[in-house]
Structure 1
Amino acid sequence: MKKLLLLSLLSSFWQHGFGQQNQLLASSKKDSSNIFIGDMHAKERVESVAIARKYAISQLKKDLEVLEKGNKSTLSNELSASNSERTLANETFSLYLAKLDKKYKADIRSIETDNIRDIFQIEQKSEIKRRHSHVVSAQCFSSKNEGNYIKMNDLDGEEIVGFPLENFKGNSRYGLVENFHQGFARIKKDQVFGFLNYCGDEVIPCQFDKADIFNDGKALVKKYEWYFIDVYGNESEALENIVDAKALKYGISVAKFKNGKFALIDNSYDVSKKVLSEYYDDISIFNKDLFRIKLGKYYGLIKLDGSVKIDPIYDNLNSTTEQGKWMIIEQNKKVGLMDTDGNIRLKPTFESISNIQIDPSIAVVSLGLAKDETGFKIIDFKDLRISKTYQAIGEFNKYGLAQVKDGKYFGFINTDLQVVIEPIYRSLGTFNQYGLISACKDGNNNALRCGYIKHDGTEVIPLAFDEVANFNKFGLVVVRENAKNCSMPSGNCKVDMVFDKSGTMIIGKTNEVAPIGIRYATTDTIFNGSYIVIKTFTPTKNGDDEMEFNLVERNNVKRITTQGYKSIRKYDSNLLFPVQKEGKWGLIDTSGKVVAKPAYKEMLYSTEGLYGVKFDNNKYGFIDKKGKVQIAFDYDEIRPFNNGLAIVSKGGGKLGIINRFNAKIAPCYFSEINILPATKQFELIDTSGSKYILNSLGDCVTNCGKFDEIRKLANQ
């Protein structure tokens, strides 16, 4: 048996670099084909175009009321009146859409002359343009008399009525089909991009090498050069000097120019030719309102309108998991924390600070791991509390605990930076499926004493053993003591015990085997569906291990075998286990009680309540299910009982038949005896070839005169 080893600390530590940037917009999920983007499943099937118009008006009315801050205008009232109708005629729908279109166009003309660029104004302008895009796309329902549509959510999570885009599945022409965003669905067909409206019409034909989603009434597209297209498909002038571009939000995009520099542009760049920001060597998303810039080898932040928030004077700069609140800054190869207004909150004295990723189902926290010349600390980014310094800190587990090393000892802290398990252990394992962890402490003479503790530090299996193993899937574990002055083999030996996950001893130390040692190994083997197999290893004089087996009742977790057995067969209809010990077979019941001591060289399977056994005289007989001998050990061969009769032989190739009381129904005279399958009768054949038939009860039915002579001779 492989030697059991002490469970050593298995902690993994983070790579101490800056975390990845937070994305401004959550990336939309693709399907397994990598073609369909976004959740397109139908919330409801729309019965007709008239009902689709009704749903569309209802949603556009909500949009209008949002812009009007709940104050209903005349147009809002008209749209409200339409909601009382179950369906909506195309003429009425067209009228409402025309009025909405006119209103939004007027609002857009008004805001285009407004040069106020604070974030509130930017959001207002964006909302008007986005709502207008929905109106333009929904106009298609005016010209439809039939069609299949669904209620669904678009990429922004807004409820819309539109064409079921999943209808394109299986069509090899499409390389991309994206859910609707601001009224239009981006598609790639025949290797070029275009856009669909809510009705599924290709209103902006597929013709572009590249295309981004609509961003407040315009979308970035590329043929040979980059352009804007509006919601009607009109192309702008070419965007000068731009080689790549990506839409952000509020009609603002980040562009890369021919000189390799980056800048922010808005949707009027084709006319103004002016950038919103300065030119930088790189611009990347920092959080929802700020962008990280790189100028030379230094980093800073700019706002969405292009104005500088933090001057580019830092060697590196990244956000924490407390997004938008703190920044991790690097200066002169040291790292600290700054707020987004530029105030230093933790001086750059650390070698590294990195975000700690914790599953929200475990704890809703925002933590970072900091390292300096003294060791590791955890920072709570919400209030900048800092833990004690440790030599090492592991990952947080499903209990919200992180293993820490303080000097040469280990313990656990929680996500609130509180010590839950004091660092007093020389080694700790990892939590298993039962919420237990192996732990070892210093004992007498610097010897480690090991056991198992819970995630709150409670001892479940006392820390009193030299070694502990891993639990099996049934909640059993082996622990070990080192015994001294053993007689076999000479010197020290190992004495094992078995505990369950509640700390109950299942197999204790056995005095009679302790001087020579005994070891156990738990298994994941189930015997008879109700018993767990445990292997037992006992040293022999030649230094090898003799392996035997014990059984533990699965449901009650109770040992049923009082000793190990070399072999255990599955229990039979009598609920008895045939067991082998020191080369001899016996019987035990399902409580472990010995029914027949292991005294037989062989044990055959039970037939009709009797067991065929071979005794020391190498002869066979039968014992019953209480272990009592019922048929003496007189036979060289026995066969199973069949309806109370069994075929036996006393040697010399001569066969006979006995009953359960050892009465000789047919003497051992016949060279062959067969049981006829159809009638269960016995066919007996003597050395001359004569045949005799006995019925299943043992009465002669054929050639009975001669059979009686044979039986009479045997009885004399």
Structure 2
Amino acid sequence: MKNKRVKILFCILLTLCSTFLTSYADKQVRASSSQQFQSAVKLFGGKYVYVPVQFDEVKEVTEDLLSYKINNKWGFIDKNGNIVTEPKFDWEYTVPGLQSGLVAVQMNGKWGCVDKTGKLVVDTLYEEVSSYSGNLVAVKLNNKYGFVNIKTGKLVIEPMYEMVGVFSEGLIACRKYQDLTWSIIDDKGNLLADKLPFERIGEFHEGLAAAEKDGKWGFIDKTGKVIIDFQYDWYRDFSKGLAVVEKGGRWYYINKTGRIVVDLGDEIKEITNSTTDSLDLIVKKENYCLINKTGKQTIKLQFDYVKSFSEGVAAYVYKGRWGFIDETGKIIVKPKFEWVEDFSEGLAAVKQNGKYGFIDKTGNVVVEPEFDSFEGYDTVTFRRPLKFSDGIAVVIKDGKTCFIDKTGKVVVKFNSLRLVRDFSEGLAAICEGGGFGFIDKTGKVVIRPIYSYVSDFSEGLAAVWINNKAGFIDKSGKFVIQPQFNSCISFSEGLAPVRIKNKWGFIDKKGRIVIKPQYDDVSNFSEGMAAVLIKNKWGFIDKSGKIVIEPQFDNVKDFSQGLAAVSRNYLWGFVDKKGRMVIMPQFSEVTSFSSKVAKVKELPKYGVINKISGKIMIPPRFHQVGIFSDGLAAVKEYDKWGFIDEKGNLVIKPQFDDVRVFSEGLTAVKQNGKWGFIDKSGRTIIKNQYDLVGEFSCGLAKFRKNNKWGFIDRTGKVIIKPQFEDAKPFVDGVAEVKLNGLWGIINTKGNIIIKPQFFDIVRVSNNLAVVQKTDGSYGFVDRKTGKLLLQPQFDGIRILCWKWAVGVVQKDKSGKEKWGLLIETK
């Protein structure tokens, strides 16, 4: 008996010893493993921590964790620079969910999860880790989804779903693998609804989720009960008790019983969130209209798109099909074609069942659809609208190029596919063997393809390029104007634009320069006027070269019927030949006038609706709405800016050329080319006198005068005189400024905190800034004290998205990168 007790005691001691040795060995292994890392260094009394360069890569994963990579394995570092997980995972990513802090990790091809402390809470056993909320995370096993409790690490819902959604309001919708019905589960693992026969279920918002059935959307509660029937084509989730829905092109706000609170009609293009909880922006459709030469709207066109008029007719598209209207807006050809081209010589090409034919203006088919176009063949060089020109249309039939007449009869058929342009003045350009020449209507080559490029014939001459120079030939192929220009455009009204070096001018048909090259770009003459570009602004000249309309526009079109379309600040209007604005800039698109009408596209118009009450505060009238700041948002009406408040009231009428957002009770406004400041009532506080300004922060705003930057206070008093080449706004009492080509930091009194010495300074946080020397190396400073935290020594940086850490990189002689971290702890 005694021997037996001794044996038992010996076994216990042996076990304890074994346990101790195993534990000791494990600690030693961990200690040994940890010794491979260089320790973090506290800087500035522990306000910052520097983790020395030693990793292959670093990145952020949650608000509390950073990941690092060594030898293709990932580990984790906390906000204090401590390595909390050894490098052992093959990959990692943040798990989507309502809470931050859960990170999916992969080991040996299987996934698990670590929490925000770096602890493994779900073993690496699964094919995928998906959404999580509370204690529940979705996992995939054997190609099916189930759920694991992250507190216990155990499966609480066996894998049975082929699809899972995203947790919202502690709820998730899952679709079963077997019968494709849906279930709803809460984040405690409770099954709230099962076998729901829907096609899709969205996320829950305010207790309801959108569900789709038979292609229509309705709303259900967490038990799967249908609260609002399936009837809508589009929806936006509930917010403040209302949801936006669209049905048959008509828009509504509905409440949680499905009752229509606001009927917005069918003129709304979309409804978007504003930057406040109580307001939405409603956007009115941009309609196409016809206007006369006074700018008066003659008719509104209810189509998806309208082309330019040609021969008194314009193509339009409606619900994916093309037709034609006349200049009164009357439909003359119903929308039934897959594609159409403009009318030319009384006929228009139309596409049906993938083939092209031609119709007349009554819609009668004149040439049956049996041809192909050159679409897809050398489109840059040869893509032209399929049309009749000189009585001939160039088409493809059975893979071969053909000429047809207006009856559809093939008059010339080539033995192969040949790239031929439309006829112009009896000849058509052809490309063979990489060269360009011309053929006649019999298909005979009359000018050999020896040129690198050619234009079509116009006024008896064609531009040709050879040996990187451009000249002009006649129809016999004889050079009338020798190749000598860098570029040129066809003749129009007796003159042709030519480019010599980088400037454009005009020549006559004898090659004489009649308007010397002096413009950055030009157009052809039309109605005696040509557009010219000078210093990024367009104007017009006459044939003597005299500037008739000063360069002042962002874009222009040619004169037609006495008017030219011009653009300023993305808005189009029309001027006459004296430069008078006869139709003010107000359209997003325009075409030139044709038979006394022009097609225009109205600008989208924004209004404001209270999404709590459903009341329309401002009907759609504004063309742009900015973000809310200090309770006000900028609104643009045509080319002038004003402001609305968060109730949707227009508090400052549109009157300014440009504005900034409100900050510290003031905003910058621009009038007559100068900037000043107004308060929230619209009262001028600082008169318009500056070339450029910034927003107020820390009681100061930067301003530029005579190409130098300084700072003013809220009364307009100059606190820091203009002396800097550039300046950034004050943040937490200090600002970065540039002097003599180098950046430093000053305080609000103008005192230098860091003397200008760096090539660049980039603020990371209110306290931390990255500095870059002229040699390209990076370091760090404390913005408020000016203390240098780390000498410029790094080859690169990566500001991580949570902004409490910055990755730093150094390269060895072979160019291999190693990463470290600078962490702001307080």
**TM-score tier after normalising by the smaller chain length:** 0.3 to 0.5
Larger radius of gyration: 1
* More strand per residue: 2
TM-score for the superposition, normalised by structure 2: 0.33
